[in-house]
Amino acid sequence: MVADESPELIPARMVNEYVYCPRLFYLEWVDGRFADSDDVALGRHVHRRVDIESGSAPRPEEGVLREARSLLLSSPALGVIARLDVVEGEQDHVVAVDYKKGKPRSDGTPWPSDEVQVVLHVLLLREHGYTCDRGEVYYAATRQRVPIVVDEDKALWARECVARARAISERLTPPLPLVDSPKCVRCSLVGLCLPDETNTMLGFTERAPRRIVPKDPDTAPVYVTEPGSMVRTRSQRLEVTKDDEVLASFRMIDVSQLAVFGRVQISTQTLHELFDRAVPVLWFTYGGWLKGWAYGLPSKYVELRRQQTITHAQGGLGLARQMIAGKIHNCRTLIRRNARCDQQAVTQALAQMGRRAATADSLSTLLGIEGTAARLYFQAFPSLLAAPEFADAFAASGRNRRPPRDPVNAMLSFSYALLLKDLIATTLAVGLDPYLGVYHRIRYGRPALALDLAEEFRPLIADSTVLSLINNAEISASDFISRAGAFSLTPNGRRTLIRAYERRLAATVTHPLFGYTISYRRVLDVQARILAGALVGELSDYTPMTTR
């Protein structure tokens, strides 16, 4: 048996994307990465009628085509497949009409990306025997049709665009982003592509990166902690019920992830709906230990996972050094900002170890540096706490876990679990494998890469959440349970910590490298995408998120 090596047909819509931006074409067609936006939603609304198949489309020798909508045509010779919005019959010929939500150029002509798509539609109709000498673009914003006469020059140009798009699709890495292009501002993939950020890190532009807009600014995690509750879907809403009583209800479009603790059931219908929306589900023990997650189909970004596997197999020392140097820097900053007594000796030692971490010659050396830095950091941690009862208990036992032996350690462990689940969700969304890390050792069931990314964010997000709860007197001894010397949070204590954690993620920060202000939740996504760029060779190195 001979394998089918015929080239895959490229949708005409993807050739449109190629002419608009080669990188956008690569990200969508080759990597299968898509993102919704207001413009994309408006485009779907404009196409709502023409996307429904209607009208007969007999071949020319079989009858007369009067009008057909959503007509699927393909051509191996042209190497293109397309779904034509409308084909109208006019006497002895037909006209291809393509619907667009926007408006034509200022001189009334169509945009090149729209034009190439219509030209390909005309060529497809010709290959199927129809007489077609022109197409039209209907621009919904101005309610006008712009005709496109397809001559030999136009046909040759369109074929060349298909050939160039196919050549790019065979590359292992995407083209570099456009530089300072106005096209990027309204692009649905700007948050995935990071054009300004990539060009800044590569030194291709001196312009400050434009502020990127979060993909879904209104979405948020849903936490279910009530024992015996059930999560269902009803009328496009996520409902949490117990004993037939509705405890909470959320619009599905507002849910970014579902985190359930302990004895909570989730209906199969709900899982299907969440998977269709690429919303991860994460299961925790009642005490806050992450047990597992489910996400639906894996990312189509195969090259990223391949390069991640290669980097993991080679050790990934360069990436690990940057992550740990970033963590030590942020630990030092947290002490400098919050210490209630002189900790200059500790901060100076941390500064020195941060420099050593950035140049460590092996993972074992890096592990030793990180371990020493962590010991010094947690020795100084009680000096950051305003409540003596919490500070004294932590100072007596130090950092410990499994089980935590004081309230501060119980909060730290719970916060780290929340941070880990967010980074698992982030790595899955980017297309990374959470298990294949560059610093943490591989163990059965351990999300090593998510733990790697968590290092620089532990002081910035998790530790800062604990500090704010204690120093603002938002939590007290009554929010903890002690059994045989082990401490855990009460249900009210867990809810209090989760609220504070989400508040911290929503807080904004000025990115030290790019200069714009975004939320910490968005920073998690940006850093994961910078790591992906470093893994596939688009960026020379990983740059951690650090604050001053």
Establish if 241 belongs to a structural domain: yes
Query: With contact defined as beta carbons under 8 Å apart, do 484 and 356 qualify?
Result: no
pLDDT score for 489: 92
Establish if 92 belongs to a structural domain: yes
pLDDT score for 366: 95
- C-alpha 338/C-alpha 427 separation (Å) is 31
Same domain assignment for residues 467 and 326: yes
pLDDT score for 511: 85
Same domain assignment for residues 121 and 228: no
239 is in an annotated binding site: no
Same domain assignment for residues 98 and 51: yes
| Token reading at 168 | 């790019």
Burial class (CB in 10 A: 0-12, 13-18, 19+), 525: buried
Same domain assignment for residues 458 and 350: yes
- pLDDT tens per residue, range 94-144: 999 999 888 999 999 999 999 999 999 999 999 999 999 999 999 988 999
**CATH at residue 332:** 1.20.120.920
Query: With contact defined as beta carbons under 8 Å apart, do 331 and 377 qualify?
Result: yes
**CATH at residue 237:** 3.100.10.20
Establish if 490 belongs to a structural domain: yes
Establish if 449 belongs to a structural domain: yes
Q: What are phi and psi of 440, to 5 degrees?
A: -70, 140
Query: With contact defined as beta carbons under 8 Å apart, do 193 and 210 qualify?
Result: no
Same domain assignment for residues 391 and 508: yes
| Token reading at 111 | 């945009």
pLDDT score for 49: 52
Estimate the crossing angle of helix 344-358 against helix 317-338, to 10 degrees. Answer: 170
93 is in an annotated binding site: no
The four Cα atoms 173, 179, 182, 183 give a dihedral, to 10 degrees, of -10
Same domain assignment for residues 320 and 286: no
Same domain assignment for residues 312 and 249: no
User: Which residue ranges in the chain fall short of pLDDT 70?
Assistant: 1-7, 33-52, 204-218, 444
Query: With contact defined as beta carbons under 8 Å apart, do 27 and 198 qualify?
Result: no
Nearest Cα residue to 535 out of 179, 193, 191, 173? 173
Which residue has 């501002």 as its token pair? 185
Angle at CA of residue 422, ends 417 and 423, nearest 5°: 95
Same domain assignment for residues 318 and 290: no
Nearest Cα residue to 255 out of 234, 286, 226, 278? 278
Establish if 78 belongs to a structural domain: yes
pLDDT score for 144: 92
Nearest Cα residue to 75 out of 23, 150, 5, 129? 129
- C-alpha 105/C-alpha 543 separation (Å) is 40
Establish if 469 belongs to a structural domain: yes
Domain count, the chain: 3
Which residue has 């992830």 as its token pair? 257
Domain final position from 294, 317, 344: 294
Same domain assignment for residues 231 and 153: no
Same domain assignment for residues 258 and 335: no
Which residue has 């809810």 as its token pair? 495
Nearest Cα residue to 20 out of 111, 89, 85, 100? 111
Same domain assignment for residues 400 and 519: yes
440 is in an annotated binding site: yes
- C-alpha 431/C-alpha 190 separation (Å) is 16
- C-alpha 286/C-alpha 280 separation (Å) is 19
Domain final position from 146, 166, 186: 166
Identify any residues that bridge with 88 across adjacent strands, giving them in sequence order. 67, 95
Same domain assignment for residues 162 and 119: yes
Structural domain containing residue 360:
302-535
Q: Which long-range contacts (CB under 8 A, 24 or more apart) does 24-30 make?
A: 24/187, 24/189, 24/193, 25/165, 25/168, 25/169, 26/168, 26/169, 26/171, 26/174, 26/175, 27/174, 27/189, 27/192, 27/193, 28/189, 29/165, 29/169, 30/169, 30/174
- C-alpha 32/C-alpha 300 separation (Å) is 5
Establish if 477 belongs to a structural domain: yes
Estimate the crossing angle of helix 195-202 against helix 520-535, to 10 degrees. Answer: 60
Query: With contact defined as beta carbons under 8 Å apart, do 159 and 78 qualify?
Result: yes
Query: With contact defined as beta carbons under 8 Å apart, do 536 and 171 qualify?
Result: no
Nearest Cα residue to 539 out of 89, 151, 173, 121? 173
Angle at CA of residue 47, ends 134 and 76, nearest 5°: 55
- C-alpha 238/C-alpha 250 separation (Å) is 5
**262 secondary structure, DSSP code:** S
Query: With contact defined as beta carbons under 8 Å apart, do 413 and 512 qualify?
Result: no
Establish if 101 belongs to a structural domain: yes
**131 secondary structure, DSSP code:** -
Domain final position from 258, 277, 294: 294
* Average pLDDT of the chain, as a whole number: 87
